[in-house]
Amino acid sequence: MKNEKLNVTKLNHHFGFTEILRDINFTLEKGEVLSIVGPSGGGKTTLLHLCAGLLDVEEGSVENSFTSSSFAFQEDRLLPWKNVIDNIALGLLAKGVDKKSAIEQSKEIALVFGLEEEDFDKFPKDLSGGMKQRVSFARALVVKPSLLFLDEPFSALDIGLKKELQTVLIEMISKKEISILFITHDLMEAIRLSDEVLLLKADPGHIVKKFNYDLPQEHRDDKFIYAETAKILQNEEIISTFELELK
């Protein structure tokens, strides 16, 4: 089996005359979770889109040898004319899975993500924001991607649902079933899920600090998360990047 990884080298990006990213370098190995944290407008989403092939790489390189990938966005991006199960099944059908099997797999993963059978025939307009995000995660993961791109998918969720969805991901991470590239401005979220956290400072976006966490995600309780967050908030680069200085 080939060694799956995402390797980003000397990556720069401009929109017109505006420099968005400068000299980005990192490697995401199979089975790892790497998060990129930084303030809004710092270039995180642009970097994720370059890594996912949604934007063309102009300078530097992005080498992705993962066999398959999928994406969960901050917005649910569900098709309004399809019901819950048909939305989840989209990726499977696109891969050529037969309709009956795609529907069965979609129902199974819908239940894993906390949806009820009576929700299966509902359309997006009938779903709460939290339910839509459950569907979005189920759709991304039903295809069993080896690499999952996460674009702040928890930012609009309440604490209970956020933790519930993270718990499902942590179970997959513990089994080494998935690798994740994850962007967020939430430091606690990054510490809960990541093996490595990269701090992206803005204007232009460039990596100024790396934080590594060896404790397996399933053993990181709230006490650990709070302690590590308190520690990281003392870091000068974090204070400067998030403009946390007292005025």
| pLDDT at residue 175, as a whole number | 84
Mean pLDDT of the chain: 91
Give the CA radius of gyration of the chain. Answer: 18
Question: Is residue 34 a part of any domain in this protein?
Answer: no
Closest CA to 15 of 60, 51, 73, 56: 56
* Per-residue pLDDT tens digits for 50-97: 999 999 999 999 999 999 999 888 788 899 999 999 999 998 999 899
Counted domains in the chain:
1
Is there a domain that residue 128 lies in? yes
CATH assignment of the domain containing 89: 3.40.50.300
In a domain, 42, yes or no: no
Is residue 56 situated within a structural domain?
no
User: In sequence order, what are the residues at sequence separation of 6 or more whose Cβ sits closer than 8 angstroms to the Cβ of residue 54?
Assistant: none
CA distances from 111 to 38, 51, 107 (A): 34, 31, 6
Per-residue pLDDT band for 107 (boundaries 50, 70, 90) equals very high
> Containing domain of residue 114, as a range?
68-154+173-181
- % the chain with pLDDT above 90: 68
Q: What pLDDT digit, counting tens, does each position of 124-152 carry? A: 999 988 889 889 999 999 999 999 999 98
Angstrom CA distances, 72 to 58, 77, 107, 141, stand at 25, 9, 18, 9
Strand partners, 206: 201
pLDDT of residue 176: 82
Q: Give, rounded to a whole angstrom, the gap between the first and last alpha carbons of the chain.
A: 54
* 1 pLDDT above the threshold of 70: no
Report yes or no on 2 lying in a domain: no
DSSP the chain: ----EEEEEEEEEEETTEEEEEEEEEEEETT-EEEEE--TTSSHHHHHHHHTTSS---EEEEEE--S-EEEE-SS----TTS-HHHHHHHHHHHTT--HHHHHHHHHHHHHHTT--GGGTT--GGGS-HHHHHHHHHHHHHTT--SEEEEESTTTTS-HHHHHHHHHHHHHHHHTT--EEEEEES-HHHHHHH-SEEEEEETTTBEEEEEEE--S-GGG--HHHHHHHHHHHTT-HHHHHHTT----
Residue 53 lies in a domain: no
The answer to whether residue 148 sits within a structural domain is yes
Let me know if residue 21 belongs to a domain.
no
Segment 178-195 mean pLDDT = 93
